[in-house]
């Protein structure tokens, strides 16, 4: 046993590390992710009662797993379930408790159980919001309150999403298994979408008083690296890790002393995290080695790498970035990609060329309420000397964003143009 001056903090740290594998192992046995999480939570409660007295076990994950399985046996016996399925589960649990390699299996970071849990939490039968909440709950080890605060959503709303998600998985009898080869690409795409949604909410908060929420970025990057360990031959998984790591490297430079936003070209690049950049570039190399043709995440990572390699904003290879965005637009055509391509084209070939692309996007209904379109147009209009139009676009952008920090920055830019 090991001891800690702050047992509760130590237990919370252990839970963040071990909870996903414990829930995954219990789900394999009881075949119900909701019940598995309840059993794991019961084990956590027992740990909170015992570990402050006895100390944290040398293998806390195995301790929690064993406690969860004992709780499952007690639950099945107390309810006197006579169905054969439940009897079989009980026998399986008892035999699992006697298995000599339980600790070794739990310590294996690349376990099938954990991969199965990833695919269940991100299953397409769930809504996007439910997948995000359930992933952070089961795989990120976050409490319902932490998830609610991270996304600025009332706690009962998050709790309801998680409950409904578990019920949907049970009602649809979603199997606890790795998808078949024919389904694997689609299911991995669903997982990557969820992880990147979590990251983006941390990188550019859609609402509230904070421009960034670094903790969410850390959670997403950790999930991405776990996934890369589980499916090491999937190039897009490494592409996403590369993209998140390179973008996360800028977090310290994205805000000023008072939390005010600092845009990419104005950032102090000496504050960029070189370790994360190195991690991202290595993951990008891995993605490129696994596939001769880069997928959408790896392509975005290649764009981010152009910024990471430039020692100053003036040294940025905008011609290459514009070319990469053109390829990305072919891979995944979308108005957001086209908007980003327009900015790169403007930097490489002049504001008029970029504005021409942006003006074509004005007719796209999906961008009608997207604040970054008028913000981008304002920048190019200002460079072309069309100050009044630029100011009006900045004011429109400020009226559309739900992030208070961003609104303040946009209004300040508008006021500067007026001056």
Does 318 fall in a domain? no
Per-residue pLDDT at 291: 83
Does 418 fall in a domain? no
CA-to-CA dists, residue 187 to 32, 123, 328, angstroms: 20, 7, 21
Does 213 fall in a domain? no
How many domains does the chain contain in total? 1
pLDDT tens for each residue of the chain, 419 residues long:
555 456 778 888 888 888 888 999 898 888 888 999 999 999 989 988 998 888 888 888 889 999 998 888 877 776 654 454 555 555 555 555 454 443 444 444 335 788 899 999 999 999 999 999 999 898 888 889 888 887 878 999 999 999 999 999 999 999 888 888 778 888 899 999 999 989 998 898 887 778 888 988 998 998 999 899 889 999 999 999 999 999 999 999 999 998 899 999 999 999 999 999 999 999 999 999 998 789 999 999 999 999 999 999 999 999 999 999 999 999 999 999 999 999 999 999 999 999 999 999 998 888 989 999 999 999 999 999 999 999 999 999 999 998 999 999 999 999 999 75
Does 268 fall in a domain? no
Per-residue pLDDT at 102: 39
Q: How far apart are the first and last CA of the chain?
A: 67
Does 5 fall in a domain? yes
Parent domain of 59? 1-108
Does 74 fall in a domain? yes
Does 194 fall in a domain? no
Does 113 fall in a domain? no
Per-residue pLDDT at 101: 46
């Amino acid at each position: 046993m090991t001891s800690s001056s702050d047992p509760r903090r130590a237990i919370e740290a252990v839970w963040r590390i071990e909870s996903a594998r414990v829930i995954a192992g219990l789900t394999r046995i009881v075949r119900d992710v909701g019940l598995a999480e309840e059993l794991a939570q019961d084990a956590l409660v027992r740990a909170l009662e015992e570990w402050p007295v006895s100390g944290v076990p040398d293998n806390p994950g195995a301790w929690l797993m064993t406690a969860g399985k004992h709780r499952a046996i007690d639950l099945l016996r107390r309810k006197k379930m006579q169905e054969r399925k439940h009897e079989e589960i009980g026998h399986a649990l008892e035999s699992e408790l006697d298995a000599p390699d339980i600790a070794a299996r739990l310590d294996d970071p690349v376990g099938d159980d954990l991969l199965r849990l990833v695919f269940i939490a991100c299953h397409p039968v769930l809504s996007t919001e439910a997948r995000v909440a359930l992933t952070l709950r089961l795989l990120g080890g976050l409490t319902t309150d932490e998830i609610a605060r991270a996304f600025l959503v009332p706690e009962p709303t998050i709790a309801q999403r998680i409950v409904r998600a578990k019920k949907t998985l049970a009602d649809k009898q979603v199997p606890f298994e790795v998808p078949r080869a024919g389904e694997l690409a689609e299911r991995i795409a669903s997982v990557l979408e969820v992880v990147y949604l979590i990251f983006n909410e941390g990188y550019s908060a859609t609402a509230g008083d904070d421009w960034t929420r670094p903790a969410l970025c850390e959670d997403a990057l950790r999930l991405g690296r776990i996934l890369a360990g589980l499916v090491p031959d999937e190039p897009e998984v490494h592409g996403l890790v590369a993209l998140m790591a390179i973008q996360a490297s800028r977090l310290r430079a994205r805000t000023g002393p008072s939390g005010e936003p600092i845009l990419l070209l104005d950032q102090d690049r000496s504050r960029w995290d070189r370790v994360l950049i190195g991690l991202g570039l290595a993951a990008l190399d891995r993605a490129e080695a696994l596939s001769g043709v880069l997928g959408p995440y790896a392509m975005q990572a290649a764009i981010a790498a152009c910024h990471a390699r430039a020692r100053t904003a003036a040294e940025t290879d905008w011609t290459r970035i514009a070319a990469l965005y053109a390829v990305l637009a072919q891979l995944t055509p979308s108005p957001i990609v086209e908007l980003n391509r327009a900015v790169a084209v403007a930097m490489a070939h002049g504001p008029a060329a970029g504005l021409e692309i942006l003006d074509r996007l004005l007719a796209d209904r999906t961008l009608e309420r997207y604040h970054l379109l008028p913000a981008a147009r304002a920048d190019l209009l200002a460079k072309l000397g069309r100050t009044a139009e630029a100011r009006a676009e900045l004011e429109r952008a400020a009226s559309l964003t739900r992030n208070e920090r961003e609104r303040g920055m946009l209004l300040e830019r508008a006021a500067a143009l007026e001056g």
